[in-house]
A and B are shown apart, each in its own frame.
Chain A
Amino acid sequence: MASDAGGAPRVDTPWQSLHPLSVVVNLVPRTWAFLRRSWLLIVAFLYGRTGPDAFIDVVDMGILAFFFLGTVGSTVVHFLTLRYRVHEGKLELRSGLLNRQARVFRPDRIQNMELVRNVFHRASGLVEVRIETASGSEVEGLLSALSEGDANALIEALDAERSHEVDGPELTDEAQWPVVVDTSLSDLVWYGVTGARLGSMVVLFGVLFQLFTYDDPQRMEQLPGLVGFAGGLALLVAVLSGAWVVSVVNAVVRYWGYRLRQKADGLVAEHGLFTRRRVELKRRKVQVVSVLEPAARRLLLGVASLQVETAAVREQGDGTDKAVAVVPMVHHEQLDEVLARVLPTGSTRLAALALRPPADKALLRGLIGAAWRSALVVAFLLWLLGWWGAPVVLWVPASLALAWLDHRHQGWAITDDLVVARSGWLHRHTEILARHKLQSVERSQGPLLRRYGLGRVRVRVAGDAIDLPLVHWQQAADIQEVLLSGARQRPTSVPLTRDDGSPDGAVAEE
């Protein structure tokens, strides 16, 4: 017991530890992570031997065992040393045996909190709590295994400290939280089908071919004779359907039971089949919202996907996404409503927004870029495949057509509250940020852009940046001034002029 300067008694909050089962719960994923990191060493150990040398085997085994024991040791030390508490309105964490670390989090600086339950957590009734601030590129507060009661108590304590930020009444009963988006299984299947990544399947088949010819390089030359035309066609169908199957399975596993609900001024997203995630974020902490609309999803299904980012900068990997929350399927008629609940500025009418086009000369630059890039790819494939690769020459006009479509559907807008930038036709990508979140504005011009009198405008917020389509250099300066004036005293709307005096037009819509 201590007392402060005023003489009032100050209670020393006891430290709390992880659940004892955390050692087991953590060991399995950490072992898996160890195997993923050391797969090259393991492959070398299993297949790299050139002779029956027992000494080399012992050395290899020793190296692997050393690193694995390090993994086990760090898991045990993590459990034994990690302590946390909410004390005097702040979250305190301490950990480490040799290198001791103490961290203090101010609740108002927490960007988002995430609850993760993988299969082992679920089997043991535990939960992993991830707490992220705007600093660094990793999860700053990681409590890897707490009982559900302890996790809820911690979140409630932090929420209580952040309660002064809440605009409306906080609904403590989860059943009362309104559902913003609810995604069905059929939605997820379509999400997977329209999100298939052919590139990854091509790489997979490339690896299979490499293995096929590993011990006999001549076998590749015999392949056309072995599979024939029908076999080649079947292989192509296998690639396409394989890509779809992988994509659908991935979508279902990742977003199973997806539900986005509103909790006062915050949002709660829950999803996942094996690893169940629950992300809680405050709307006022949202920095960038991206609307992703691949052509198939946009034109066939009339849906979009949303990515919501806060200032908590993340590096992909270790089970985290760059975006804090992803909304896999939002129907176009529902998009404005969902955006209004996600964006810190409130309502927006994206569909009705007249986007300004990029500068005309940006088309020429885009076409030249597409021409030389596709020509390089075609030249390489022709060199690799000979005359069999002749059809790939068609990639040059296709690439030019895509560049034209991309230019025609690019656009940008600066409203009183928002900055909007759209790019791409095949993969339409619209980024939206609130003007009052702006951290800096940068305009730049390389030698090629200088030749065309063009410039690039990059608007930075905490944790991310968006690029507007290419505009005239003078117009880039105008945009910079308008955005700075918005940062000073929002909202202001200053007319933007084009340096060539031509009227601004809206971007073509389907």
Chain B
Amino acid sequence: MDEWNPLAPRARLLFHLQALSSLVLAWLPMLGAVVAGLALWWQLFGAFVVGAGAFFVLFVGAVWFPTFQYERWGYLLRDEDLLITSGVILRRVSAIPTHRIQHVDMQQGPLEQWLGLASVHVHTASGLGGRGTIPGLWKADAEALRDTLIERSQEAHDDGV
């Protein structure tokens, strides 16, 4: 097997920022509501201890997890197929024959735009969902990959179904 292509080094920062933003915007309000509920129905000190413990676990997860996440991502474009590997807890290797590709999207969220990164989404008739996604590529690399994939998909002489 050839060497996997890693994501752009800045993708590590992207994953950290995404994890911290979801911690602040989603997990903290939820945790606050649970702690408030516990304080009302149980006791203030116990609720504080549970909340602080949960926050510590979530914070450590948000700081550590993206590093492993970054290291597990990789892709490999071979002559006839695209391989994508990902996952820290559930490890996954997806293989997509390029002649089956229906279309390819390139996306940039606000954080990705700021960092000069982009993600490539490969779509087939099987509805791969997130399994055909490669996040955290340099924008130029993402454009080149997208163009290559589109070019190869056009070599197919059927409807890809």
Contacts and interface: CB of A to CB of B under 8 A. Distances in A.
B160 to A, nearest CB: 8
B58 to A, nearest CB: 20
A323 interface: no
Contact of B124 (A439, A450, A480, A488): A439
Contacts of A109: 159, 161
Contacts of A446: 89-91
Contacts of A461: 126
A444 B99 CA distance: 23
Given A108-B159, A444-B90, A465 B126 contact: yes
B105 interface: no
Interface in B111-161: 124-128, 131-132, 159, 161
Nearest to B128: A440
Contacts of A463: 125-127
A488 B159 CA distance: 15
Interface residues of B, number: 23
Interface string B67-104: 00000000000001100000101111111110110000
A487 B125 contact: no
A440 B87 contact: no
Contacts, number: 79
Interface in A225-246: none
A65 B40 CA distance: 43
A488 B95 CA distance: 12
A438 B96 CA distance: 9
A382 B91 CA distance: 38
Nearest to B89: A447
A490 B96 CA distance: 16
Nearest to A450: B91
A412 to B, nearest CB: 17
A484 B124 CA distance: 15
A64 to B, nearest CB: 36
A446 B126 CA distance: 23
A447 B89 CA distance: 6
Contact of A488 (B80, B125, B127, B131): B80
A495 B124 CA distance: 28
Interface in A421-460: 438-447, 450, 460
A444 B87 CA distance: 9
B92 A443 contact: yes
Residue from the set B81, B94, B125, B128 with the largest chain A CB neighbour count within 10 Å: B125
Residue from the set A438, A439, A462, A465 with the largest chain B CB neighbour count within 10 Å: A439
Contacts of A484: 80-81, 95, 97
Contacts of B125: 134, 311, 439, 462-463
Contacts of B126: 439-440, 460-463, 465
Nearest to B81: A484
A133 B16 CA distance: 41
Contacts of B159: 108-109
B124 to A, nearest CB: 5
A465 B125 CA distance: 11
B95 A462 contact: no
Contacts of B91: 444-446, 450
A442 B161 contact: no
A460 B81 contact: no
13 contacts: A109-B161, A438-B100, A439-B97, A441-B94, A442-B94, A443-B92, A444-B93, A445-B91, A446-B91, A462-B126, A477-B93, A484-B81, A484-B97
Interface of A: 108-109, 134, 285, 311, 313, 438-447, 450, 460-463, 465, 477, 480, 483-484, 487-488
Given A438-B97, A445-B90, 8 more contacts: A109-B161, A439-B96, A439-B125, A441-B94, A443-B93, A447-B89, A487-B81, A488-B81
